[in-house]
Amino acid sequence: MTLSDFEKQRQANIARNQALLKQLNLDSISQDIYSELKKEDAPKRRRATKPVKPREIVPALPTRRSRRIAGVKLEDVTDDPFIQEVTEAERKREELERIKRMRLSGDVSLVDIITDKNGVKAEEDEALLEKFREIGKNYSMGDFFDQMVEKYATTDKALQELREEFTKVTLVPQYDPNDVKITPGRMSTVTFHPSTAKRLVVGGDVNGHIGIWSVDNGSPIEYIKDEAEEVEETEELEPDITILKNHGKNVGKIVIQPTDSTKIITSSYDGSIRSIDLNNLKSTEKYFSQIDGLALGVSDIQFGSPNVLFYTTLEGLFGRVDFRESSRKKYDLLRVHDKKIGSFSANPNRDYQIATASLDRSLRIWDLRNVKASPWSEYEGARSPHCYGGFSSRLSVSCADWNSSNKIVCNGYDDKINIIDVSDASSWSQTYVIPGVKEEVAEGIPNSIVAEHRIKHNCQTGRWVSILKSKWQQNPRDGYEKFAIGNMNRAVDVYSENGQQIAHLQSLRLTAVPAVVAWHPTENWIVGGSASGKGYLFC
């Protein structure tokens, strides 16, 4: 048979490939690999194991057996009075331990915790409640204010009348809160103009905007009633709000100038203090806080006297500015903390006394008449006023506010509102130190201040809600000293200077936390500002 050309070519390729393989010596290599594999695959010898004797299984006794089946007879102890008394005492002890461990937050009601659910009130439970009331001078009623007022009546007629008056205080009905957007961003501060004829609210946000809400100048909202384009007015008003971009950063505080109520003074973290003239809405820079050209963020301002403005900075400094053009007096910056000052307040009766609250977890009271070196400060060459005493907290202290009765209220992230009595402050000398020093937190800073009343209050605002700060009413017309603070459950709480809760202002229309609050100086009107810049006015 004759081979085809294709077959001849295939045979030639095979022969050529075999010749190449012989030249590469692959046959011997493959043989070596094969022999190595054979060695590894050889079975290993196993050691002989001794046979294991089977263990005899002994049935275990049951852990629980019926005494009735076993024939054991016991005496009936259910009617034994001694056994019943011991059992009841043990139950009460366990209940008391449970109460001690209870976290008073959220939807937990203090009344429900202490009161027996069966309606039986033991004497020791009453004593326990009285103990809590004495320690806290009325533990924070907060969200269960109505239950506490109903259960524990007061003999203070003035307090009863005030509580009754605040039951009539509601959100202004002519405005939809969703329409009252005072500032574009999260509101960081708010104030109430002292005028009673024309209510005016001024708010500032974290972006430097100032919003001015003229409450009594709202215009009726019109809508088209039908296809014929018939226009009908509603009872709701459209708010009259003017917004200004007054600063470059967060607005720290807004106050009204005492000598001219048409001037609104604003401060900011950008270091500037500006004045807005309501007559022409002109903004003027009054002062720029700086050291060597570097801006010092202004955290708080307050008029210590009609013409002298006090201010604090984010760096822990205290300063003063004289607004009189003829005055050439310059004030030195004083070191009062080494960390940010969140708030301060001057004594309304003695403008040389101030209280400061700081991120360093302390509140301190100072005398501006006595300035000396600061041995406690980490800053070289720092000078400070004389420190009467300090109050230490577990966490940052957010605010300090001083009223005309010489009571200081402060609160912070330890979820406590503290009311401090300094009723004899007007008689303190320039070197006075508050007695009862526990320890010195730093050289020259006695830790001697103790709160007269402590109130539990949730101050955990988080990142998107402004810090809660308690504020006294400046000059209450009814003569009753009281302060307000925002509530994280979308309400405003009002307390007396003795820690008694006066009101818990809330509404179904209040859909956000009114974190920043302000009183009208004389009337029982309160405004709150939310994270979305909306204003909630209670009148």
* Residue 405 pLDDT: 96
Give the CA-trace dihedral at 500, 513, 459, 457, to 10 degrees: 20
Q: Which residues of 266-301 are buried (b: 16+ CB within 10 A; e: fewer)?
A: bbbbbbbbbbbebeeeebeebbebeeeeebbbbbbb
* Residue 38 pLDDT: 56
* Cα–Cα distance measured from residue 380 to residue 385, given in angstroms and rounded to the nearest whole number: 16
Residue bearing the bigger pLDDT, 122 or 97: 97
**Short-list 160, 183, 196, CA closest to 516:** 183
Cut 0.75: pTM above it: no
Strand order of the β-sheet with 308-313 is 298-305, 308-313, 317-322, 334-335
Mean pLDDT over 45-61 rounds to 60
**Range of weakest confidence among 87-91, 116-120, 324-328, 527-531:** 116-120
* Cα–Cα distance measured from residue 408 to residue 320, given in angstroms and rounded to the nearest whole number: 22
**Short-list 232, 142, 213, 202, CA closest to 494:** 142
Range of the domain at 438: 162-538
pLDDT tier at 319 (50, 70, 90 boundaries)? very high
Helix (H, G, I), strand (E, B) or coil at 177: helix
Q: Is residue 206 in some structural domain?
A: yes
The number of C-alpha atoms within 13 Å of 261 and in the hemisphere containing its C-beta is 10
- Is a pLDDT exceeding 80 seen at residue 145? no
Residue bearing the bigger pLDDT, 93 or 126: 93
Task: Provide the number of structural domains found in the chain.
Answer: 1
Q: Is residue 134 in some structural domain?
A: no
Residue 400: its H or E element? strand 397-402
* Residue 143 pLDDT: 57
- Is a pLDDT exceeding 90 seen at residue 515? yes
* Residue 22 pLDDT: 75
Provide φ and ψ at 273, rounded to 5°. -120, 120
381: left (phi over 0), alpha (psi -120 to 50) or beta: left
Cβ neighbours of 420 (radius 10 Å) = 22
Provide φ and ψ at 164, rounded to 5°. -65, -40
Residue bearing the bigger pLDDT, 491 or 151: 491
Residue bearing the bigger pLDDT, 169 or 45: 169
Residue bearing the bigger pLDDT, 78 or 281: 281
Give the CA-trace dihedral at 214, 216, 217, 222, to 10 degrees: 120
DSSP state, 181? Answer: B
pLDDT tens digits, one per residue of 216-242: 988 887 655 555 555 555 678 999 999
Helix (H, G, I), strand (E, B) or coil at 232: strand
pLDDT tier at 8 (50, 70, 90 boundaries)? confident
* Cα–Cα distance measured from residue 217 to residue 412, given in angstroms and rounded to the nearest whole number: 37
The number of C-alpha atoms within 13 Å of 428 and in the hemisphere containing its C-beta is 29
* Cα–Cα distance measured from residue 290 to residue 297, given in angstroms and rounded to the nearest whole number: 8
* Residue 461 pLDDT: 92
* Residue 83 pLDDT: 80
* Residue 138 pLDDT: 34
Residue whose entry in the numeric block shows the structure tokens 């200077």: 497
**Range of weakest confidence among 139-153, 253-267, 303-317:** 139-153
Mean pLDDT over 26-32 rounds to 61
Q: Is residue 142 in some structural domain?
A: no
- Is a pLDDT exceeding 60 seen at residue 357? yes
- Is a pLDDT exceeding 90 seen at residue 135? no
Q: Is residue 382 in some structural domain?
A: yes
pLDDT tier at 1 (50, 70, 90 boundaries)? low
pLDDT tens digits, one per residue of 85-112: 888 888 888 877 665 544 333 333 334 4
Residue whose entry in the numeric block shows the structure tokens 């050309």: 5
Q: Which CATH number fits the domain that encloses residue 311?
A: 2.130.10.10
- Greatest mean pLDDT among 156-160, 322-326, 434-438 lies in 156-160
- Is a pLDDT exceeding 80 seen at residue 61? no
Q: Is residue 383 in some structural domain?
A: yes
pLDDT tier at 369 (50, 70, 90 boundaries)? very high
Q: Is residue 42 in some structural domain?
A: no
Tell me the one-letter amino acid at 326: S
**Range of weakest confidence among 109-123, 204-218, 378-392:** 109-123
* Residue 142 pLDDT: 58
Helix (H, G, I), strand (E, B) or coil at 166: helix
- Is a pLDDT exceeding 90 seen at residue 511? yes
3-class SS letters over 73-137: CCCCCCCCHHHHHHHHHHHHHHHHHHHHHCCCCCCCCHHHHHCCCCCCCCHHHHHHHHHHHHHHC
pLDDT tier at 330 (50, 70, 90 boundaries)? confident
pLDDT tier at 162 (50, 70, 90 boundaries)? very high
- Is a pLDDT exceeding 70 seen at residue 148? no
* Residue 119 pLDDT: 39
**CB under 8 Å, gap of 24 or more: what pairs does 318-325 form?**
318/344, 318/354, 318/356, 318/366, 318/385, 319/289, 321/273, 321/286, 321/287, 323/257, 323/286
Residue whose entry in the numeric block shows the structure tokens 């000398």: 429
Mean per-residue pLDDT over the chain, rounded? 83
Q: Is residue 103 in some structural domain?
A: no
**Short-list 338, 430, 334, 339, CA closest to 376:** 338
Q: Is residue 115 in some structural domain?
A: no
